[in-house]
A and B are shown apart, each in its own frame.
Chain A
């Protein structure tokens, strides 16, 4: 069977000693940085991106993927131990996970998160392997009109899932798109908004934007209101869940995996929705629903599985369509582009070793995570005790040297400062940085396809609704926007988020 041939090729690639080694390092580094409070996966990947510059593309992407799911896993550890989720998708894990830790069951909670993530990851990888190639086949028939509509859908969907005001999220997307126009115009070569600075001709550096908005802005926020954290470590005696725990986690893991795999493929913040959705499902359908909110193992197993499944399947739109479904994947896109690889429908055929190698490596990486995390938990706990006065200058130092090494260009450092300040002001005024980042990355793609489609249609904008696939995508985007604005649904969404706070 073709699938097995492909997986064989993937296995061969992933098992090459250097790929195995860097996958391991990626998972380890990702978990380590993910554990550190106050720095989420986006800033983590942006900071560690420069490490991979000298690598082969396959090795680089394998390591970055490892950092990504390692950071996600590390974030859950922080959520459980100090009730401080590294990113939004770990927020629900914090509710019951931290409660379990306070009841002296931090060990089983951590083990459940690891086991749930591993099972979900394994299933999601099979789904990725099965669905990505056919989807790529469909995407091959896409023209510029379809791509334009697809990007619009991705952007709109990301606000339907963000917290807070819809109009503010929309404003962030468009502002991101605007900043994406900085640099030379692709058609005429005219430099736009560069103020005569040659270094800006290639556009604002993506890593600078990510590190500024998600790293530096966050540091300023943290320094403003330093919270004392309740670290629960003394009680980790046994990691092994009991037989009863295992019995109770089976169904939530299965439900979480299914939900997560499905939602991960969707554009927008699928993994956040997945963990929230899984939590809601457990609350409604679990046999022990009364315990949920007070340290129920189901409420750790379900969301963690969903979260990790979605993390894996969200590679599908990135790899097959070239459209990243959320900001972290946007970073992956940037990383691939730096290595000269343009993700898109042809990647399965032109780069089979990269595509299948990545898929298999993710499974191996998940295995590393299970094997690694449980024995190394003592190390992670010790990392949590690193004081913030050391941590934040370290983030600044790594951001500076890492970003500088990309092109030895000081303007990339100035851009970090600029976007750090901009991000701080915007966050302070109630805006979310994630839609901005997505808009920023997708901006050039959106403009390119818009202009191309309009050239093909001789300037007639009805091309977007005359082509059925494009019309359907735009209709979905409109529906997502209406959903985000409708008061009843807004209220429901607020409730979910309030519950988490």
Chain B
């Protein structure tokens, strides 16, 4: 159907919103709802979730009626995966390895997210950035972050 294809972006957009609203609304049902006078912890999330679902449905309908016909465009999976991996790596290792090594790993992964960067540039960038960040944050600004961690033998 031509109409549906034209509205693909809006329909997807609406679906994402509906899914998120639904997740919160269903989650809110686990908490006490209460009434307007004595609102329980679930009242606001439930009300907001229902509104979000309504708006999501509105976006889908609008997509069918007047799709904007804008291409969604390609997706750079390499960038998405490696940038996420960089942050997760830092989060998972910073307590065990300390800031220096966690940063080195994170900047290595992040630099690799750009496919056109050569391997030498990746290594140079991450080593340089790690040294710079450690000097700046740990020595100059004296932020209380652990430089090394208990996972290291020294």
Contact = CB atoms under 8 A, between A and B. Distances in A.
A405 B137 contact: yes
A427 to B, nearest CB: 11
Nearest to B108: A393
Interface string B81-116: 001101110111011000100110011001101101
Contacts of B42: 192
Given A390-B125, A397-B129, A178 B145 contact: no
Given A175-B20, A219-B79, A405-B144, A397 B62 contact: no
B145 A404 contact: yes
Contacts of A397: 103, 106-107, 110, 129-130, 133
Interface residues of A, number: 66
B39 interface: yes
A393 B37 contact: no
A418 to B, nearest CB: 9
Interface in A185-230: 185, 187-188, 190, 192-193, 216, 219-220, 223-226
**Main secondary structure on A side of the interface with B:** helix
A470 B79 CA distance: 47
Contacts of B102: 400
B121 interface: yes
Given A188-B41, A193-B24, A420-B87, A393 B52 contact: no
B80 interface: yes
B1 interface: no
Interface in A413-459: 413-414, 416-417, 420-421, 424-426, 428-431, 447, 450-451, 454-455, 458-459
A421 B107 CA distance: 18
B17 A223 contact: no
Contact of A430 (B13, B51, B58, B103): B13
Given A175-B17, A401-B103, A421 B80 contact: yes
A378 interface: no
Contacts of B145: 401, 404-405, 408
B36 A410 contact: no
Contact of B39 (A174, A187, A389): A187
Contacts, number: 204
A190 B107 CA distance: 38
Which of B35, B126, B129 is packed against the most chain A CB atoms within 10 Å? Answer: B129
Interface in B68-87: 68, 70, 72-76, 79-80, 83-84, 86-87
A178 B18 CA distance: 13
A145 to B, nearest CB: 13
Interface stretch (A47-55, A135-143, A292-300): A47-55
Contacts of B28: 192
A420 B91 CA distance: 15
Contact of A220 (B68, B80, B99): B80
Main secondary structure of the interface of B (DSSP, over half): helix
Contact of A178 (B37, B45, B111, B114): B45
Interface in A31-84: 50-51, 53-54
B34 to A, nearest CB: 9
B126 A413 contact: no
Given A192-B45, A405-B144, A429 B9 contact: yes
Contacts of A401: 99, 103, 133, 137, 143, 145
Contacts of B141: 51, 54
Interface of B: 9-10, 12-13, 16-17, 20-21, 24, 27-28, 31-32, 35-42, 44-45, 48-49, 51-52, 55-56, 58-59, 62, 68, 70, 72-76, 79-80, 83-84, 86-88, 90-92, 94-95, 99, 102-103, 106-107, 110-111, 113-114, 116-117, 121, 125-126, 128-130, 132-133, 137, 141-146
Interface of A: 50-51, 53-54, 165, 167-168, 170-171, 174-175, 177-178, 181, 185, 187-188, 190, 192-193, 216, 219-220, 223-226, 388-390, 392-394, 396-402, 404-405, 408, 410-411, 413-414, 416-417, 420-421, 424-426, 428-431, 447, 450-451, 454-455, 458-459, 461
28 contacts: A168-B13, A171-B52, A171-B55, A174-B21, A177-B48, A178-B49, A193-B27, A219-B83, A220-B83, A224-B75, A224-B76, A389-B114, A389-B117, A393-B125, A400-B103, A401-B133, A405-B143, A408-B95, A413-B91, A424-B80, A426-B16, A429-B13, A429-B72, A430-B70, A447-B44, A450-B44, A454-B36, A455-B38
Given A226-B116, A426-B16, A454-B36, 20 more contacts: A51-B141, A168-B13, A178-B21, A181-B44, A185-B41, A188-B32, A192-B31, A193-B27, A216-B87, A219-B113, A225-B73, A388-B114, A389-B114, A389-B117, A390-B128, A393-B111, A396-B86, A401-B103, A416-B87, A450-B44
